[in-house]
């Protein structure tokens, strides 16, 4: 399989949940797509719970627990939700084309919400930190 687009939404969701999704294909964009899938199917509250739980399990399976960041994970889901509220697209591919900043300028988007460096903060890695600058939708 070349990338995450080789998988249907259902296949991607199931393989990720079961820690069967190939690690080399788990890009930032694949992470955003998983958020989009969960937000579409379950809404924001359950999507955050699902993704944080499944991502913790996935990185543990890969032996990469040190890469997990709770604040960044929740912020990513909330950022995707923000753009979904303003979108009428029905596919992730159309959604990411319509909102390329999620993919190409994600760090800058997140820095509009946080004055602290949540990417490297040990506290942010362990527990969700509310934004100090701009709240999420």
- Report domain extents, the chain: 8-126
Say if CB 62 and CB 119 are below 8 A apart: no
Say if CB 64 and CB 94 are below 8 A apart: no
φ/ψ of residue 21, rounded to 5: -75, 130
Residue 127 is given by DSSP the state S
pTM value is: 0.94
Q: What is residue 1's predicted lDDT score, i.e. its pLDDT? A: 58
Residue keyed to tokens 């032996």: 63
For the stretch 67-88, pLDDT in tens is 999 999 999 999 999 999 999 9
For the stretch 21-61, pLDDT in tens is 999 999 999 999 999 999 999 999 999 999 999 999 999 99
pLDDT band at 137 (very low <50, low <70, confident <90, very high): confident
């Amino acid at each position: 399989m070349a990338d995450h687009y080789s998988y249907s939404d259902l296949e991607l969701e199931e393989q990720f949940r079961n820690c069967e999704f190939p690690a080399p294909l788990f890009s930032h964009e694949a992470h955003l797509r998983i958020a989009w899938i969960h937000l579409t199917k379950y809404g924001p509250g359950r999507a955050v719970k699902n993704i944080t739980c499944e991502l913790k399990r996935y990185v543990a399976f890969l032996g990469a627990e040190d890469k997990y960041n709770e604040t960044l994970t929740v912020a990513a889901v909330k950022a995707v939700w923000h753009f979904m509220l303003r979108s009428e697209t029905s596919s992730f591919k159309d959604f990411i084309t319509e909102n390329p900043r999620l993919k190409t300028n994600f760090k800058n988007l997140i820095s509009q919400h946080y004055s602290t460096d949540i990417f490297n903060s040990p506290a942010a890695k362990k527990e969700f930190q509310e934004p100090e600058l701009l709240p999420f939708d």
